[in-house]
Amino acid sequence: MKLLHVIVALNADGAERMLQRLIESHIEDPRFRHVVCSLTTTGKVGEELAARGIDVHSLGMRSPLGFPRALWQLVKLIRAVRPDIIQTWMYHADFLGGLAGRLAAHKRIVWGVRTTDVRSGGSRVTVLLRKVCAWLSYSVPQAIVCAAEASRRAHVSVGYDASRMMVVPNGFDVARLAATPEQCAAIRQQCGFGDGTVVVGILGRFHPVKDHQNFVRAAGILAARHPDVRFMMVGRDLDANNRELADWIAQTGFASRFVLLGERRDVPACLSAMDVFCLSSRTEGFPNVVGEAMAMALPCVVTDVGDAAMLVANTGVVVAKENTDALAAGLSRVVDMTPDERIRLGQMAKARIHAEFTMMRARERFEDIYLRLVEEK
């Protein structure tokens, strides 16, 4: 079975990494062949997939003005590849991939929906695309895969065809989510953390939806109460060159308690150096980073966004979004635990990921969709 995946970009973000894990889970399976098309650039994930022998294409679209050219290129690619199924990832790819598929006389199209906060706006182009996709959802895709139950509910509420929607939670390659004690010790030493230091960490690119300001303010409250707590921030633009972030940290009065590591490739090692993981987002779909932290046996404190509460369940703490006092209180609750209590909570989190959210489970769910579509007349 040949699958053509259409995605906006191939950077190292949630949807892209999920696509990568899905494809790599099939590398040794002769039943499936994957081809990937990025509407924009190849990106880090595209380079990594190409290195594994996957056929990766990029259309180089830089703005909406490039839409006609990208559409024609995609139609030609579909006709050349002749996939059994076209799978698209997120609004822009859903629209362009769905339209190109129909122009190429292809009917087995699977859309991908990941966002949950459909009421808070977004760019004008995104809002318009969402409305158009809602209208087209009754005729273009045969299936619409949501990364979270919260995504499914939100999109049904704005007009998507509920009968075509299903939920496939992200799966985690748990074998890769591991670090040695030496790796953990090296990062903690690099950051200046002592044996008795409790490290509260956050991981993710600097972006308004991640609400890093909320995290920094909550960390400031926590720092005033807990002299042994330090804060590690990992992700794109979480570094000393980010003046806006630096100003937020300075306003806490505890700038020396923060360590900014920026974007890193050794994510499991960074997670292993933390004692508590925090998600401070104001919106999410299915938060990959929380699942990764749980797989690394970290107790998590998360805002109640997307499927974060469902994912954490009874293995962590859930607080209201955009509420600094609530986030600080949730973090304090875990920081105040004994080391053994935090370890037990983290082990519960790890067990939950291994039982319900492995890549194997996600792969099986996608395969069921593919086989059903191919078998239908």
Say what the pLDDT of residue 121 is. 52
User: What confidence category does residue 284 fall into, taking pLDDT thresholds of 50, 70 and 90?
Assistant: confident
Task: Based on the fold, state whether residues 46 and 146 are members of the same structural domain.
Answer: yes
Mean local confidence (pLDDT), 166-190 = 92
Is the same domain home to 98 and 198? no
Task: Tell me, yes or no, whether 151 and 248 share the same domain.
Answer: no
Do 371 and 332 share a structural domain? no
Which pLDDT score is estimated for 286? 83
Beta bridge partners of 6: 37, 88
Residue 24 lies in a domain: yes
Identify the band that residue 116 occupies on the pLDDT scale cut at 50, 70 and 90: confident
Residues 151 and 42 in one domain: yes
Report percent pLDDT > 90 for the chain.
Answer: 82
Res 172: pLDDT? 87
Q: 41-55, 118-132, 246-260, 319-333: which range is least confident on average?
A: 118-132
Q: Both 104 and 13 in a single domain?
A: yes
Looking at the fold, whether 21 and 115 belong to one and the same domain comes out as yes
159, 186: one domain: no
Domain that holds residue 113: 2-171+358-375
Band of pLDDT at residue 306, cut at 50, 70 and 90? confident
Structure confidence at residue 149 (pLDDT)? 87
Instruction: Please report whether residue 79 resides in a domain.
Output: yes
Asked if the structure places residue 37 within a domain, the reply is yes
In sequence order, the 6+-apart residues with CB closer than 8 A to the CB of 180 are none
The answer on 188 and 134 residing in a single domain is no
Asked, for residue 254, whether it belongs to a domain, the answer is: yes
Give the per-residue pLDDT at 17.
87
Number of domains in the chain: 2
Compute the radius of gyration of the chain from its Cα atoms: 21
Reading the block at residue 298, the tokens are 């970290």
Q: How would residue 122 be classed by pLDDT, with cut points 50, 70 and 90?
A: low
* Residue 23 φ/ψ, nearest 5 degrees: -65, -45
Residue found by looking up tokens 């749980």 in the block: 294
CB 111 within 8 A of CB 88: yes
Residue 349 in any domain: the answer is: yes
Mean pLDDT of the chain: 93
Rounded to whole angstroms, how far apart are CA atoms 272 and 350? Answer: 13
Q: Is 59 among the domain residues?
A: yes
254: domain CATH number is 3.40.50.2000
pLDDT, residue 351, reads 96
Read off the pLDDT of each residue in 97-124 and give the average, rounded to a whole number.
85
Confidence at residue 119, expressed as pLDDT on a 0 to 100 scale: 66
Does 195 lie in the same domain as 159?
no
Q: Which residue has the higher pLDDT, 189 or 306?
A: 189
Neighbours of 158 (CB within 10 A): 13
pLDDT in tens, 322-351: 999 999 999 999 999 999 999 999 999 999
pLDDT tens column, 139-166: 999 999 998 888 899 999 999 999 999 9
Domain assignment present for 213: yes
pLDDT surpasses 70 at 63: yes
Which tokens in the block code for residue 38? 């990025």
CA distances from 304 to 25, 242, 328 (A): 31, 27, 14
* pLDDT (mean) for 265-286: 94
For the chain, first and last CA: distance in Å? 16
Q: Which two tokens stand for residue 50?
A: 């190409």
Residue 176 in any domain: the answer is no
226 in the same domain as 201: yes
- Residues 137, 285 within the same domain: no
pTM of the model as a whole: 0.76
